[in-house]
Structure 1
Amino acid sequence: MLFLIILIGVLFIVFATAKLKLHPFLALLGASFFVGIASGMPLLDIVKNINEGFGGLMTSIGIVIIAGTIIGVILEKSGAAYRMAEVVLRILGEKRPQLAMSIIGYIVSIPVFCDSGFIILSSLQKSLAKRAKVKVASMAVALATGLYATHTLVPPTPGPIAAAGNIGATDYLGTIILVGLIVAIPATIVGYFWAVKMGTKIEVPADHEEALDYEEVIKSFGKMPSTFKAFLPIVLPIILIGIGSVAALTLDDKSGVSHFLQFIGSPSVALLFGVLASFLLLPEISEVTLNDWIGESLKEAAPILLITGAGGAFGTIIKNTGVAEILQSMDLGALSQGVLFLLVPFIIAAALKSAQGSSTAALVITSSLIAPMLPTLGIEGALPLALVVMALGAGAMTVSHVNDSFFWVVTQFSGMKVTDAYKAQTMATLLQGITTIIVTMIIWLIFV
């Protein structure tokens, strides 16, 4: 009966968000109250658990999400995202333009939302398609799949961070970033090959239109920041988090050096250093850059914080219904082998993603559902929990179609018909999700 109650709660979230178009924040809160009441939880405990779940997750990842969003907006507005793209193109040349767009997407989407990243780079990919004499659709799919890979797998993107927070892996963000960067590579490669195979068969109006020359596109952005300044806000936090993780494992935990390195390597502090580094990209110090740009990023972060916090509340309610005790008493057999368990978050997240469209919501909800199972199965520690996040991300990729805002960004800015976008973009995300879960399971079998 308890599992049925939780299932009804999840189905309510899907119905409310997909059909009624209710904001996920309210849908998650409504489901939290329903599950609490229907499971017989004392009413005052329901309020306590919702407050603690919401606040607890904000305590661990709230600043990280806000800082990551600020970095992303500044990279977008300062032209740093363009600079990074220009550097990749300069290194790769024009022999493999689709590969260049895939790599650009892979890098840019680490701090910048995939929707925004595609919009920013749309004119660049069209001009490069004209210059390299390749189909615009193939360039669009290559860019979109590169963006999509790191968007669902690599912090500081909010979805993976929220998933890490829900399953109690916030202390292992350094490992999650490293594993995410590795696992996102085959996902990006699969997207590239599909873009070349399928995208080259699709014609869009832009193939026959005049596009700005590549040099003109770059010049139209005005003076762009240096390569060092452009990459620093992304690279610096990753390095600091890595240093903190290594220090925690190798140095005496009582030494001052270890404490300092773990301090600067804590995700909140490391991302705030990234924010400071992003200030070097500001074209001027003024109210517009210091107030308006930051204000815009806070507006972008607000709904993500609300959804993430509500997901934490939902997860805490589920955890305190007694479901963990029921799971402990069950013979989970094959799932206890770990690697097969990875299919559980993958399938649930894929079902939620396909049903309601949001990768972030799929990550938040699914991680809340599976969190009570992890201690029961003995899944703990940096690498196992990082691979659980990868399995969640793989599901949250599968698939992008008409109920996903990113699908419409790709179709509208590339000029693809919906039927063509299903063949190119939706199939690409299916292949990316399947590839990612297979790679994740292989890593588990080898290293766990």
Structure 2
Amino acid sequence: MSVFFAVGLIVAAIVAIMVLISRLRLNPFIALLTISLAVALIAGMPADKVVASFEAGAGHVLGHVGTVIALGTMLGKMLTESGGADQIAQTISRAAGRRRVDWAMMVIGLLVGLPVFFEIGFVLLIPIAFVLADRTQTPLLRVALPMGAALSVTHALIPPHPAALLAVSAYHADIGRTILWGILIGTPIAVIAGPLFGRFAAVRVPITEHNPLAEQFVRSTPPDNMPSFAITVFTIMLPVVLMLVGSAANSVSTPHGGLNTLLHFFGNTDIALLVATLMSFYVLGTARGFSQDTVLRFTNECLGPTALIMLLVGAGGGFGRELVDSGVSKTVTDAALNIHMPLLVLAWLLAVVVRVAAGSATVAMATASSIMGPILVHGGGAAPELMVLVTGAGSVAFGPLNDAGFWQIKEYLGLTVSQTVKTWSVLETLIAVFGLIFCLLASLVA
């Protein structure tokens, strides 16, 4: 398979998906499924393996993200119905002022995003973004995009995220210096891609689509007996704390011992979210005067609008898996490796190529670092810590349609495909491009 054929196939697939959804008004899941299968067949994959590949990709993504979305939506519903989201929104509005709520959401995103995956931080914070935008009469994009930018920056650039840790190991980088450089470089990137771009995009991309999620996360008026700010924040931060404890388990207990196993168990993503959701049923539910039947109704009715989100997230994973299994991704990646350029630029470009070809930022960072690691060890020429950061920056480039996160953003924010490209894809590309620029500048002194 030639590289021109592979690149052309990826471009044609993305254009076809956009046309089917935006112009022909085909259901997004059907469009993704159809194009994914067509791409695999055109690339020469045996017909008997095409469907299995899609199912494997969709199942792998949904195995993690589906549970996160379900539990996060239930927790968000309890925050909304109890008035907890209003309590946080009012506190943020008073502290930051109505004109700076986007800056406040960026800071919150940076703090929450440090220990958790993007998807988890997003489902924890999106109810607050909906309520804050409504109460302050601020365009949703101006509030949500800075939050998303901060979460994406921390996911890509700052350990202890798993992909970043893999890159630290592959490049033999010092984790302390990597975190320090990540904060120094990531913070201005979050500002550029967050509040600055968010204000620009909110004016030029008006949201016109009906959004049932916004309706269920925003009450017409806050309840009289809202939970305190402290208990609400504790409920949101509980899964974050549990995941931090889980990641530090080997440092505070004997590996494979009883306590170590217990800490890892409760630090698991799904378990941490489950514990917080169960706690919310009491502190934000029955303790606020809701009956058990009412809490059950809340948790049942909130899942309806997430059905399409889960299907699209899974389909995005299936699309990415088809590109990998058909050999399209490998063809494009091999071509990138044959380009002779500085190591920082090559690591960034390779991560970008894998990101576009496979969709997943985690896969892009892990793949690029595993390829570039031996090259750096034997050849040198760049600071290992900056190699980690530049690889992470490239891994989020473009926010392509074969990334499950693209469809999560689209559905949660009520955007069309073209609007998601104009906002989220551009935001992710800003992170990638400025990540490369700042890493190249830092290499002059590192």
How does the TM-score come out when normalised to structure 2? Answer: 0.64
Q: Do residues 147 (structure 1) and 152 (structure 2) align?
A: no
Correspondence 1:26-45 to 2 at 5 A: 26-45=30-49
Residues 1:257 and 1:396: Cα distance change in structure 2 (over 3 Å): same
Q: Which residue does 1:23 correspond to in 2?
A: 27
Q: Which amino acid aligns with 2:50?
A: I
Are residues 1:58 and 2:75 paired?
Answer: no
1:323-334 to 2 correspondence within 5 Å?
323=328, 325-327=330-332, 329-330=334-335, 331-333=337-339
Q: Tell me the alpha carbon deviations over residues 177-207 of structure 1, each in whole angstroms, 9 at most, x when there is no partner.
A: x99x9688546645556889999x99xxxxx
Maintained 8 Å contact 1:79/1:225:
yes
Contact 1:153 1:389 in 2 (8 A): no
Alignment deviations for residues 120-173 of structure 1 (CA, whole Å, 9 cap, x no partner): 3345314xxxxxxxxxxxxx26x7434212235538xxxx89xxxxx995998x
- Cα deviation for residue 105 of structure 1 reads 7.0
Q: Compared with structure 1, are the counterparts of its residues 434 and 388 closer, same or farther at alpha carbon in structure 2 (3 Å cutoff)?
A: same
CA distance in 2, matches of 1:223, 1:115: 22
Summarize the Cα distance change of 1:150–1:340 in structure 2 as closer, same or farther, 3 Å threshold: farther
Residue 281 in structure 1 maps to residue 284 in structure 2: yes
Q: Which residue of 1 aligns with 2:261?
A: 259
For residue 219 of structure 1, report the CA deviation from its aligned partner.
Answer: 8.0
Aligned to 1:321: 326
Amino acid at match of 1:275: T
Q: Which runs of 5+ in 1 are unaligned?
A: 127-139, 162-166, 203-216, 350-361, 410-420
How far apart are the structure 2 equivalents of 1:221 and 1:364? 45
Comparing 286-295 and 110-119, the one that deviates more: 110-119
Instruction: Give the Cα separation in 1 of the matches to 2:132 and 2:289.
Output: 23
Change (3 A) 1:263 1:33: same
Give, in whole Å, the separation in 1 of the partners of 2:320 and 2:199: 41
Contact 2:246–2:266 (Cα < 8 Å) also in 1:
yes
1:306 alignment partner AA: L
Q: Does the residue aligned with 2:248 lie in a helix, a strand or coil?
A: helix
2:368 equivalent among 362, 367, 374: 374
- Find 1:337's aligned residue among 314, 335, 343: 343
Alignment partner for residue 72 of structure 1, among 63, 72, 76?
76
Percent identity over the alignment?
22
Give the whole-Å Cα distance in 1 for the aligned partners of 2:240 and 2:385.
Answer: 16
1:69/1:112 contact within 8 Å kept: yes
Aligned equivalents of 2:63, 2:315: Cα separation in 1: 13
- Whichever residue aligns with residue 314 of structure 2, its letter is G
Aligned-pair distance for 1:306? 1.0
- The offset of 1:248, in angstroms, is 4.7
Q: Is the 8 A contact 2:39 2:323 kept in 1?
A: yes
Q: Closer, same or farther in 2 for the Cα pair 1:429/1:310, shift >3 Å?
A: closer
8 Å CA contact retained: 1:28, 1:310: yes
**Equivalent residue, structure 1, for 2:381:** none
Cα contact 1:363–1:396 (8 A) shared by 2: no
Structure 2 vs 1, CA of residues 237 and 117 (structure 1 numbering), >3 Å: closer, same or farther?
A: closer
Q: 2: distance between equivalents of 1:366 and 1:311?
A: 9
Query: 2:172 — aligned with what?
Result: none
Structure 2: runs of 5+ lacking an equivalent: 113-120, 167-174, 205-218, 375-383, 401-405
1:5 match:
9
Alpha-carbon distance change, 219 to 146 in structure 1, aligned in 2, over 3 angstroms = closer
Other structure's SS at 2:326 match: helix
1-side partners of 2:105 and 2:23: how far apart? 35
Question: Contact (CA 8 Å) 1:102, 1:144: kept in 2 or not?
Answer: no
Cα displacement (A) at 1:45? 1.2
Amino acid at match of 2:284: L
- Counterpart-to-counterpart distance in 1, 2:195 and 2:369: 38
- Write the letter of the residue equivalent to 2:231: K
Asked if residue 300 in structure 1 is aligned to residue 301 in structure 2, the reply is no
When residues 289 and 428 of structure 1 are mapped into structure 2, their CA distance, relative to the original with a 3 A threshold, is same
Which residue identity lines up with residue 265 of structure 2 in the other structure? F
Is 1:121 aligned to 2:115, yes or no? no
Residue 434 of structure 2, aligned match among 428, 432, 438? 438
How many Å separate the matches in 2 of 1:249 and 1:87?
Answer: 36
Partners of 1:11 and 1:196 lie apart in 2 by 28
Cα distance in 2, alignment partners of residues 378 and 64 from structure 1? 32
Task: Let me know the Cα RMSD of the aligned residues.
Answer: 5.1
Q: How does 1:395-406 map to 2 (within 5 A)?
A: 395-396=398-399
For the Cα contact (< 8 Å) 2:265–2:271, is it kept in 1? yes
Cα deviation for residue 321 of structure 1 reads: 1.5
Shift of 1:83: 0.8
**Residues matched between the structures, number:** 372
Q: 1:390 to 1:308 in 2, by over 3 A?
A: farther
Counterpart of 1:333 in 2: which secondary structure?
coil
Secondary structure in structure 2 of the residue aligned to 1:154: helix
Q: Distance in 2 between matches of 1:120 and 1:274?
A: 20
Distance of aligned partners of 1:86 and 1:374 in 2 relative to their CA distance in 1, 3 Å threshold: same
Change (3 A) 1:51 1:386: farther
> Which of 97-106 and 40-49 deviates more?
97-106
Q: 1:195 to 1:229 in 2, by over 3 A?
A: same
Aligned 8 A contact 1:76 1:112 in 2: no
Q: Is the 8 A contact 1:240 1:264 kept in 2?
A: yes
TM-score w.r.t. the length of structure 1 is 0.64
| Counterpart AA for 2:146 | A
Task: Report the equivalent of 1:102.
Answer: 103
Contact 2:28 2:312 in 1 (8 A): yes
Amino acid at match of 2:260: S
How do residues 345-384 of structure 1 correspond to structure 2 at under 5 angstroms? Answer: 365=359, 367=361, 374=368, 377-378=371-372
Amino acid at match of 1:434: L
Q: 1:307 to 1:243 in 2, by over 3 A?
A: same
Distance 2:201 2:316 in 1: 37
1:82 corresponding residue in structure 2: 86
CA distance in 2, matches of 1:259, 1:307: 34
**Distance apart, 1:379 and its partner CA:** 7.1
Residue identity in the other structure for 2:434: I
Q: Secondary structure at the match of 2:24?
A: coil
How far 1:263 sits from its partner (Å)?
A: 1.4
Does the 8 Å contact 1:114/1:148 carry over to 2?
A: no
The aligned runs of 1:219-230 (5 Å cut-off) are 221-230=223-232
